[in-house]
Chain A
Amino acid sequence: MSPLNIQSGSTSHSAYDLRDPHAEVIEQHTLAVVVDNESGVLARVIGLFSGRGYNIESLTVAEVDHEGHRSRITIVTRGTPQVIVQIKAQLFRMVPVHEVHDLTVDGPSVQRELALFKVAGKGDHRIEALRLAEIFRANVVDSTLESFVFEMTGTPEKIDAFAELMRPLGLREIARTGVAALSRGA
């Protein structure tokens, strides 16, 4: 596999980067959307973003209430303030959408992402990778004589930083889950 070309702040790699380059201030917002867990609901949400030219920086989804058939979608998106308001209004008018929270404006929140890194190397590189993993509190979840798979949970920025450091040490692959987020406090 070719060495990964990870730009700094890789989260700005969007699946749908259709932003108007001339738009005014671009802000990043994290939205939590509670939806009915019915078939097609994710396609509906993604279709909204692609159809109207909004960005998805990252998106995670899983059922959070089995009895109530509710899933929570966490979307990190970017856009001008006007576009962000539009996105929220467009989401909220969808029939299976129950709640839309803008964690970025609602107050402090915690944001976490899980990532797996495959790092291959020998000798000093291997030792250095292990040492850095310890500093970053990454766990080794697989190892061979020539490689490690590290597991790490943290903010997207922390994951970016770790990836930067691993690159010269033999970074081969990364898998990231995208952001899950909750507001702080009760």
Chain B
Amino acid sequence: MVVEALREQGVDVVFGYPGGAVLPIYDEIFQQNDIRHILVRHEQGAVHMAEGYARSTGKPGVVLVTSGPGATNAVTGLTDALMDSIPLVVLTGQVPTFMIGTDGFQEADTVGITRPCTKHNWLVKDTDKLSEVIHQAFHVATKGRPGPVLIDIPKDVQFATGEYTPMPKAKVTHYQPRVKGDMEAITRMVEMMETAERPLFYTGGGVINSGPAASQLLREFVAATGFPITSTLMGLGAYPASGENWLGMLGMHGLYEANLAMHGCDLMLNIGARFDDRITGRIADFSPNSRKVHVDIDASSLNKVIRADVPILGDVGHVLEDALRLWKARGRKLNKAGLAKWWKQINEWRAVKCLTYKNSATVIKPQYALERLEALTKGMDRYITTEVGQHQMWAAQFLGFEDPNRWMTSGGLGTMGYGLPASIGVQVAHPEALVINVAGEASWLMNMQEMGTAMQFRAPVKQFILNNERLGMVRQWQELLHGERYSQSWSESLPDFVKLAEAFGCKGIQCKDPKDLDDAIMEMIKYDGPVIFDCLVEKHENCFPMIPSGKPHNEMLLGEADTKGAIGSKGAVLV
């Protein structure tokens, strides 16, 4: 029944781990060939793989785990997917209905535990309802603002035979979020665009989630208006990094020109982003002189943090389409003189070249490693995942994304241990592509058991570890905020990554000399199988630019010289 419903939903792969409470479903899986099952090494890994799969394909990722510990191990992944709006359908086993509430073996209140970290969840107590709930679950996971859903299935419900409801017959719930934006609001947005002197597109993950058509419309709109565009971490790739109007990522470690443009614009067009605190900095000083348009499919995102002058509830793709059509129909008006001045100002900011770093002939700078990785893999059919830390920010700064769905990173939750399993999920969806996880050594260790999964399923993922032997991002904050008292931010007793690779049966490469880096990267790319690349980098490099917590955009630190006393005690309580 479960497998039948998944098949009807077009599922081709499930990431999972068996256990007593899901044995009947595993029995079904054994007896068919349509759906591939990827056996993970830890349930957290299964959820992150499904996230990688979903983010790189636009389809929901599917996970199957057992009751109790299987379900609790999935919680981090669920929370991650909720924060980053990733559609997932997670199936968990549960003790039989008559045992629920008795503290049975491997019983956990899964729907209770996962209620705040799913978009919705169900406990199915009746086999006749099971297939219908599965169809509803796919509907809820993918419609509106996407997110993870969970279905808890007691073992007796799995065993019993029941009535199968095919997909077209399933009652989809009343849950039908609106996709069309209000035309009156869209008209106001277009009017503002026609007269703005210093407009700016500020785009986010919503553009990616809306689908490739939204990215296409965005590109067309930017090209036609000539407006500058910046994006959040989650939105990278919606507009190409090589595009003329691209200012780079904004936010705490965003580019100087992007953040100053945010601060100085007079019209902010927020398309599918959510004014996260990594973006806004100090709210009171956030972009003080701009009128703000905010397009979002989730009404609760509108006016949550920043008051929008024109809130537009709707799907980004639909709203962009209507706005573009209207703007053209009204004669493609622009404030050309204002725009020219605005670009002149932006180009002055660009000339600061905020990503400049001091290179070295003897040690590999992490920025240099990423520059070389970018140069050597550019133009390839490439997907990047990351872990969380400095390396993640450098990857966002130094790698260029030309298309949506090519960049998978844990933005909202910032989950160390995301990147390795996510890279496997991406590779499963795109077997021929080059999939690289840009990792920090500490994050990577959090889910390194999944190398076993990569080996078993021949997922030739490349683990590009920027090994600074530090919890680098923590160390940077301690340097700037806590008087250089490096409390517990050293990665001690690290494994020998090359030997570790051998132990898993894959290839290990270590590189520590900048002169050898290109060859080593090429060796990694060419190897037909998983690679663990141990790139020994400068240990105390800091990630700049940086907007310290509690500071506005125009008080950005550009380099070491700027850092003395930059963060007050008020900022220190923020994270």
Contact = CB atoms under 8 A, between A and B. Distances in A.
B243 to A, nearest CB: 33
Given A44-B115, A47-B115, A95 B300 contact: no
A67 to B, nearest CB: 15
Contacts of A95: 119-120, 140, 173, 175
Interface in A75-130: 82, 85-86, 89-90, 92-96, 98
Contact of A85 (B144, B174, B303): B303
Given A82-B303, A98-B174, A93 B115 contact: no
A32 B303 CA distance: 22
**Most chain A beta-carbon contacts within 10 A, residue among B111, B300, B307:** B300
Interface residues of B, number: 22
B412 to A, nearest CB: 15
Q: How large is the interface on A (under 10, 10 to 19, 20 to 34, 35 or more residues)?
A: 10 to 19
A25 to B, nearest CB: 15
A57 to B, nearest CB: 21
A96 B149 CA distance: 13
Contacts of B119: 95
Given A93-B298, A95-B120, A40 B303 contact: no
Given A93-B144, A98-B174, A43 B300 contact: no
A40 B152 CA distance: 13
A7 interface: no
B303 A39 contact: no
A96 B175 CA distance: 8
B78 to A, nearest CB: 15
Contacts of B300: 86, 89-90, 92-93
Contact of B116 (A47, A82, A89, A98): A47
Interface string B500-540: 00000000000000000000000000000000000000000
Interface string B138-165: 0010001100000000000000000000
A82 B300 CA distance: 11
Contacts of B116: 47, 51
B236 interface: no
B115 A40 contact: yes
Interface string B118-145: 0111010000000000000000100011
Contacts of A94: 120
A7 to B, nearest CB: 31
**Most chain B beta-carbon contacts within 10 A, residue among A39, A40, A90, A95:** A95
Describe A's contact surface by its main secondary structure: helix
Contacts of A93: 144-145, 177, 298-300
Contacts of A89: 298-300, 302
A44 B123 CA distance: 14
B411 to A, nearest CB: 20
B109 to A, nearest CB: 10
Interface in A1-44: 39-40, 43-44
A98 B174 CA distance: 7
A89 B299 CA distance: 6
A43 B140 contact: no
Nearest to A87: B300
B378 interface: no
A185 B120 CA distance: 35
A11 B121 CA distance: 33
Contacts of A90: 300
A82 B307 CA distance: 9
B485 interface: no
B127 to A, nearest CB: 17
B332 interface: no
A43 B115 CA distance: 9
A48 to B, nearest CB: 8
Contacts of B303: 82, 85-86
Contacts of A40: 111-112, 115, 121, 123
A41 to B, nearest CB: 10
B112 A43 contact: yes
A93 B119 CA distance: 9
Interface of B: 111-112, 115-116, 119-121, 123, 140, 144-145, 173-175, 177, 298-300, 302-304, 307
The 4 closest A-B pairs by CB, nearest first: A89-B300, A95-B120, A89-B299, A90-B300
